[in-house]
Amino acid sequence: MQLQIYNTLKREKELFVPRIPGKVSMYLCGPTVYNRIHLGNARTFVLGDTIRRILSFLGYDVTYVQNFTDVDDKIIVRAAELNITVDELVEQEIKNYFEDAKALGILPADKHPRVTAHIGDIIAFIGDLIAGGFAYVGGGDVFYDVQKFPAYGQLSGQKLDDLVMGSRVEAGEAKRHPADFALWKGAKPGEPFWDSPWGKGRPGWHIECSAMVRAELGGHIDIHAGGMDLQFPHHENELAQSEALCSGEPFARYWVHGAFLNVNDGKMSKSQGNFFILSDVLKRYDGNIVRFFLQSAHYRKPLSFDATSLDSATVALNRLRNACGALEHVLTALNAPQAAGEMLNLDQYEARFKSALADDFNTAEAWGVLFELARDANAALALKGIANAELALSLMQRLAGVLGVELTVDRSLDEEIEALIARREEARFARDYWTADNIRVLLAELGIELLDTPQGVRWKLK
């Protein structure tokens, strides 16, 4: 199965060929830790985790790095608002990130570098750019000279002359060109700073990722991923900085950008005020449901969010959970795999699932294959059963696990529900229909629907 990836740099799907056969190095721009992440941020971080899982499923040995930006204007402002130190805010928000990520089934990256732990690497990187003629000192700042990099604008598809129209030189800046950007910023009163050959200061945003990629992954990577909002200027500048020192070899072979999560036809963002904090959403919805929703559209297509989105996702995911529950019920009722019944061709579901994911990580199509398997399993159970029910159940759970979603039904109420069902059956046998009906109503209030099957009464999530 050959993997095809849409490469933003080339604006087309390309056959994936890693630098080292069988191995993949991947970098994702992580959060700036000044507040809890919102649902739009979550789509990007789920995308990175999903790509990593898919690559592993397809047989690659993946090294995955996701950074934390722990020094930034927003962090400094937020810490002042809360009357705490920058370090206190950073530690709290990194803890919050891992809590939210765990709820969404996002696995920890192999490495989570912090900017402040790589200041020496950043200073060395800037020094190399100055030595190579790609950067210059202006006052207490250091700027990247975009005119020295002829390919500038290639990732975003913009021309330097066009970018000049949207750029300007701020008072006190010593830029040579309006589009030049800061690699090192001279210290301002009250801000964190580090010593450097150019005076006290702190790094610019774009240089941070270039330096961390070089320090953690060697400077050349297979996949660089992030949200579409980072394509320009962040990734454009990162590419320019890194390829200035790459000796002709690409900095990243494939650039992958996830589309926006939209609310009321606009991008979800904190700056626009139309955002939903993920931790608030997780108080009402299981993380598996949120993750499933975020994967329900192809990552390059905008995904619309409204008041009914997660309710609809709950209904859809429960269809898969109930199919698993039906298979579990059959296996439990018979206390052994079925000897008779239809033999589902499970290989074809896995093959089509894998094909969907190999086509530019198409999670929407992959979920469609799982819904087909659930539909066919339910139909077979309703007729003559499934001879390979145990394998069908295992396959559904395993393939959903590739996407980071658990299909196992919450069994914490099993004893209570089973006791109620038993009481209802006793009431029906005694022709006490009033009690039987009341128990059905009570179970319905718990979100449980009863089904009469040849193997006895079973329940499913409504």
What pLDDT, on the 0 to 100 scale, is given for residue 213? 97
Q: pLDDT-based confidence at 200, cuts 50/70/90?
A: very high
Q: Say yes or no to pLDDT of 447 above 80.
A: no
Q: Which of 36-40, 138-142, 415-419 has the lowest mean pLDDT?
A: 415-419
3-state DSSP of the chain: CCCEEEECCCCEEEECCCCECCEEEEEECCCECCCCCEHHHHHHHHHHHHHHHHHHHCCCEEEEEECEECCCHHHHHHHHHHCCCHHHHHHHHHHHHHHHHHHCCCCCCCECCEHHHHHHHHHHHHHHHHHCCCEEEECCEEEECHHHCCCCCCCCCCCHHHHHHCCCCCCCCCCCCCCCEEEEEECCCCCCCECCCCCCEEECHHHHHHHHHHHHHCCCEEEEEEEHHHHHHHHHHHHHHHHCCCCCCCCEEEEEEECCEEECCEECCCCCCCCCEHHHHCCCCCHHHHHHHHCCCCCCCCEEECCCHHHHHHHHHHHHHHHHHHHHHHHHHHCCCCCCCECCCHHHHHHHHHHHHHECCCHHHHHHHHHHHHHHHHHHHHHCCECCHHHHHHHHHHHHHHCCCCCCCCCCCHHHHHHHHHHHHHHHHCCCHHHHHHHHHHHHHCCEEEEEECCEEEEEEC
- With beta carbons less than 8 A apart as the criterion, state whether 305 and 288 touch: no
pLDDT per residue as tens digits for the range 14-53: 999 999 999 999 999 999 999 999 999 999 999 999 999 9
- With beta carbons less than 8 A apart as the criterion, state whether 262 and 329 touch: no
Residue range 382-391: mean pLDDT, rounded? 88
What pLDDT, on the 0 to 100 scale, is given for residue 171? 43
Q: Say yes or no to pLDDT of 153 above 50.
A: yes
The one-letter amino acid code at 124 reads: A
Residues forming beta bridges with residue 137, ordered by sequence position: 142
Q: Which domains can be identified in the chain, with CATH numbers?
A: 4-140+147-158+208-258 (3.40.50.620), 309-402 (1.20.120.640), 414-461 (no CATH)
Neighbours of 241 (CB within 10 A): 28
For residue 67, CA distances in Å to 5, 42, 237, 337 come to 23, 15, 17, 47
Residue range 54-65: mean pLDDT, rounded? 98
Distance CA 459, CA 415 (A): 12
- With beta carbons less than 8 A apart as the criterion, state whether 40 and 53 touch: no
What pLDDT, on the 0 to 100 scale, is given for residue 423? 75
- State percent of the chain over pLDDT 90: 72
The conformational region for residue 138 under phi > 0 = left, psi -120 to 50 = alpha, else beta, is beta
Residues forming beta bridges with residue 69, ordered by sequence position: 32
What pLDDT, on the 0 to 100 scale, is given for residue 383? 83
151: closest CA among 220, 231, 243, 218? 243
Q: Say yes or no to pLDDT of 93 above 80.
A: yes
For residue 42, CA distances in Å to 38, 137, 217, 258, 274 come to 6, 38, 24, 11, 15
What pLDDT, on the 0 to 100 scale, is given for residue 363? 98
pLDDT per residue as tens digits for the range 161-190: 777 655 555 545 688 899 999 999 999 888
- With beta carbons less than 8 A apart as the criterion, state whether 374 and 386 touch: no
Complete edge-to-edge strand list for the sheet that includes strand 266-267: 266-267, 261-263, 303-305
- State percent of the chain over pLDDT 70: 87
pLDDT per residue as tens digits for the range 275-326: 799 999 999 999 999 999 999 999 999 999 988 999 999 999 999 998 998 8
Q: How does the average pLDDT of the chain come out, rounded?
A: 90
- Tokens standing for 408? 């196992």
pLDDT per residue as tens digits for the range 397-415: 999 999 999 998 665 555 6
- Tokens standing for 326? 């039906």
Q: pLDDT-based confidence at 428, cuts 50/70/90?
A: confident
